[in-house]
Amino acid sequence: MANNRPKLAVFKFASCDGCQLSLLDCEDELLAVAGKVHIAHFPEASRESVRGPYDVTLVEGSITTPDDVERIQKIRRRSKMLVTIGACATSGGIQALRNFRDVKEFTSIVYAHPEYIRTLETSTAIADHIPVDFELRGCPVNKYQLIEVLNAMLWGRKPQIESGSVCVECKRRGTVCVMVAQGMACLGPVTHAGCGAICPAYNRGCYGCFGPQETANMDPLSEKLAGLGVLATNIARLYSTFNAGAEPFEKARRQVEATNN
Partner 1 sequence: MRAIQEQNAFIMEARELNRLIETLAEKGYETIGPTVQQGAILYGHVGSAGDLPAGWSDQQGPGTYRVSENGDSSFFGYVVGPNSGKSFLHPSRETLMQASRKGDLLEFVDDPAPPERYALIGLRPCDVKAIEIQDRVLLEGLYVDRKYKERRDLLFIVTVNCAKPGGTCFCTSMGSGPAADSGYDLALTELNDDRGHRFLVEVGSDSGSELVAALTTKQATAADIDSAGRQADDAAEAISKSIDTTGLREQLYDSLDSPYWEKIGARCLACTNCTMVCPTCFCTNVQDVSDLAGNSAERIQIWDSCFNAEFSGLHGGSVRQSIHSRYRQWMTHKLASWEDQFDTLGCVGCGRCITWCPVGIDITEEANTIRKRAGQLAGTVEDAP
Binding flag, residue 259, partner 1 (CB under 8 A): no
Shortest Å, Cβ 54 to partner 1: 18
The pattern of x and - marking residues 185 through 224 that bind partner 1 according to CB under 8 A reads: -x-xxx------------x---------xxx-x-xxx-xx
List 24, 148, 198, 257, residue binding partner 1 (CB under 8 A): 148
- 45 belongs to the binding site for partner 1 (CB under 8 A): no
Among 49, 182, 234, 260, contact with partner 1 (rule: CB under 8 A):
182
Among 127, 168, 226, 232, binds partner 1 (CB under 8 A): 168
Secondary structure (DSSP) of the chain: -GGGSPEEEEEE-BS-SHHHHHHHTTGGGHHHHHHHSEEEE-TTT-S-B--S-EEEEEEESBB-SHHHHHHHHHHHHTEEEEEEESHHHHH--GGGGGGGS-HHHHHHHH-S-GGG----S--B-GGGTS--SEEE-BTTB-HHHHHHHHHHHHHT-------SBHHHHHHHHTPPPHHHHH-----GGGBBS-S-SHHHHTT-----TT-B-TT--HHHHHHHHHHTT--HHHHHHHTSSTTTTSHHHHHHHHHHHHHH-
| 49 near partner 1 (CB under 8 A) | no
Residue 182 CB, shortest distance to partner 1, in Å, is 6
Residues that bind partner 1 (CB under 8 A): 29, 32-33, 35-36, 147-148, 150-151, 154-155, 160, 162-165, 167-168, 171-177, 179-183, 186, 188-190, 203, 213-215, 217, 219-221, 223-224
